[in-house]
Structure 1
Amino acid sequence: MSQKFTSLLAVVLLLAAGVAPVGAVTGDGAVASAGAATQTSCSFPVTETDATGTEVTVEQKPERVVTLAPSAAQTMWEIGGKSQVVGVSQYATYLEGADSRTNISGAGRSYVNVEKVVSTEADLVLAPNVIPNETVQKLREAGLTVFKFDYATSVEDIYSKTELMGRLTGNCEGANETVSWMKDRISTVRDAVKGEDPPRVLISQGGGWTAGNGTFVGNVVELAGGTNVAAEANISGYGKISEEVVVQQNPEWIVQLGAFGAYPKTEAYNGTAAVESGQVLTVSNENISQPAPRVVYAVTKMAKAFHPEAYAAANGTDEGAMQEATTTQTTTDGGSSGGVPGFGVPVALVALAGAALLARRP
């Protein structure tokens, strides 16, 4: 076996193992050393203050974790904590293998069946901000360790939440890899849309509801190189937008959030530049309605739609070849199917670059 081939094989094996070789480029463009993995290992006990103002201590790495809403479940899947999860909500069943976990949901979108959660004998319960404080308190009174996360208003908040969940569950390295990958993809989008004219975008959640100021969905629109017309109309949070405002703002794009996010087929909406020009985009609900890592796919899908030429130029790759290379790791909108967290197209490109350099060596 030649020295070239041996070196090439070493790069492939390192990447297959999910470990970056010496000198590999990380998500923020820095060079990672061989000892980087040891710096990202978790230590227990760990104490963090949650959204209820409670100091929560996790004594040791939890073997049994319950997620009370889809965003927490998705994050656990992405950071490598899938095997620890023993309970999920009904809206997390899109995740591979989630249907084999205990369904802890009751009736209603955010209702949690306390008895079902207690029956899982969880070491740690992860409660996203949609879970009422009274539910958190009931679970604590039943003897469970519960951590409630803060409200996310931006993708930056999702980075922080992902890293925090990694610390709480003993998946620090996976969380750091995931955040690094997210930042890498967002950086690509930022470079692509920089200097481009931002189109006017209306987010449709269905029934005339939209996302305004102070929402991570609105932040996604901005990251993708668009202007959120709801924010310009001084709508804060998630609320209804009147048809008069829709006519006044005249969006050039309408982005529908999932199957239930269809815009109202009224005269006001049908008369917008977006509908008249056929610029209506639907983004998968799990990639945009949940403050979790896969939101990156919503950002990239929007950026490709809003600024196709600039996005293609910034990526500088054969989109068809890239899609074929990552088919087994993607779902709707490019969502991960639960492979090694943080290892997608960026790492594949590093592998190709590294292999090319090694192959040139004598």
Structure 2
Amino acid sequence: MFHTPRRRRTSFATLTSLLALLGAAALGGCATRDEPDPAAQDKRPERIVSLSPSATETLFAVGAGQQVVAVDSASTFPEQAPRTTLSGLTPDPEAIASHKPDLVIVSSDVTNLTAALEKTGTKTLVLPDAKTLDAAYAQFARLGEVTGHKAEGEDLARRTKADIDKLVADTPKPAKPLSYYHELDQTYYSVTSATFLGSLYQRFGLTNIADGADPTASGGYPQLSAEKIIQADPALIFLADTKCCGQNAQTVAARPGWNTLTAVKSSHVFPLDDDIASRWSPRITDLARAISAAVATP
């Protein structure tokens, strides 16, 4: 739920909650915590509950969809996922246990969920938010492995990496680096190059106006000001608040002073699918394709 990174309208209720969860998850790669390894089970899990939209998408992509009995309310893709009122932000052990899972997948062990579920004999796999593309690929393979679809998971990781590498290689390189602003919401929260999203933009040689002196500040999700954005004058603007907040090129141009921006004047304001731009799922290829098209736009 790229989980961007999680934002208040898709994966979580507020960006504040996002930052708290990121800290709690101790972000990094696809390492799990110290709980028993689900991969060590004698048989593959047949009743999986996913409380992570990114994991949900990946489970279906590796062929484990029929093993999924429930997903959280933020898991909006694929359409056939058994969506429920379960929450990844405030998980309820009793509600989760009612689905009789043999494996629960989360992106953060909030409220000591692992310990609570362990009392019922249910295993939990914690897959923290991916910080890099390689970490996302590793999670694809990991989810394939723990669900009995090892070959499919490894193949998905290989194909996704190859597709993105090709998109990067085939995208025309601008004469000089292009600057960009990625908008999470209308209060100007953004991402830096230290985030999963930022690392993807970096692959295309783009310069992030949100980086500042320390891209890791604010957990990689700083709140900018309209003045800072106008002063930075980005060449490209990417809007990840289209579905939630109805933002588009016209609403951006109508903001005070924004009609002077290079991106606005050159029609280089690009709407993104909020969900795709907030998850480290196999659909990151679609996001990379959108970035490539933007960079190649005259």
Task: Give the TM-score band, short-chain normalised.
Answer: 0.7 to 0.9
**Which letter does structure 2 place at the counterpart of 1:242?**
S
Aligned to 1:121: 100
2:290 maps to 1:301:
yes
Query: Which structure would you say has the larger Rg?
Result: 1
For structure 1, the residue ranges without an aligned partner over 5 or more in a row are 1-48, 310-362
Aligned to 1:54: 35
Asked whether the equivalents of residues 35 and 124 of structure 2 are also in contact (C-alpha less than 8 Å), the reply is: no
**Which letter does structure 1 place at the counterpart of 2:89?**
S
What RMSD, in angstroms, separates the aligned Cα atoms of the two structures?
2.4
Shift of 1:151: 2.9
Please, which of 204, 214, 217 is the counterpart of residue 194 of structure 2?
A: 214
Q: Which has the higher contact order (CA 8 A, sep 6+)?
A: 2
Aligned to 1:183: 161
2:148 maps to 1:170:
yes
TM-score (normalised: structure 1): 0.65
Asked whether the equivalents of residues 194 and 215 of structure 2 are also in contact (C-alpha less than 8 Å), the reply is: no
Identity among equivalent pairs (%): 22
**Which letter does structure 1 place at the counterpart of 2:244?**
F
Asked whether the equivalents of residues 68 and 125 of structure 1 are also in contact (C-alpha less than 8 Å), the reply is: yes
1:153 and 1:270, CA in 2 relative to 1: closer, same or farther beyond 3 A? farther
CA distance in 1, matches of 2:124, 2:292: 37
Asked whether the equivalents of residues 75 and 83 of structure 2 are also in contact (C-alpha less than 8 Å), the reply is: no
- How many residue pairs match? The answer is 256
2:243 maps to 1:259:
yes
Q: Point out the structure with the larger helix share.
A: 1
TM-score (normalised: structure 2): 0.78
Asked whether the equivalents of residues 133 and 200 of structure 2 are also in contact (C-alpha less than 8 Å), the reply is: yes
CA distance in 2, matches of 1:228, 1:215: 11
CA distance in 1, matches of 2:75, 2:84: 9
Aligned to 2:8: none
Shift of 1:217: 0.8
CA distance in 2, matches of 1:269, 1:95: 36
**Which letter does structure 2 place at the counterpart of 1:274?**
A
Asked whether the equivalents of residues 79 and 171 of structure 1 are also in contact (C-alpha less than 8 Å), the reply is: yes
Please, which of 113, 118, 122 is the counterpart of residue 135 of structure 1?
A: 113
Aligned to 2:232: 249
> Cα deviations across residues 178-221 of structure 1 (Å, max 9, x unaligned)?
11211121121221247433321111001211011321111121
1:90 and 1:247, CA in 2 relative to 1: closer, same or farther beyond 3 A? same
**Which letter does structure 1 place at the counterpart of 2:99?**
T
CA distance in 1, matches of 2:83, 2:99: 8
Shift of 1:64: 0.9
Please, which of 52, 57, 68 is the counterpart of residue 74 of structure 1?
A: 57
For structure 2, the residue ranges without an aligned partner over 5 or more in a row are 1-29
Asked whether the equivalents of residues 182 and 191 of structure 2 are also in contact (C-alpha less than 8 Å), the reply is: yes
The farther-off stretch of 152-161 and 141-150 is 141-150
Please, which of 257, 272, 278 is the counterpart of residue 283 of structure 1?
A: 272
Asked whether the equivalents of residues 193 and 225 of structure 1 are also in contact (C-alpha less than 8 Å), the reply is: no
Shift of 1:154: 1.4
Aligned to 2:208: 228
CA distance in 1, matches of 2:267, 2:198: 22
CA distance in 2, matches of 1:147, 1:132: 13
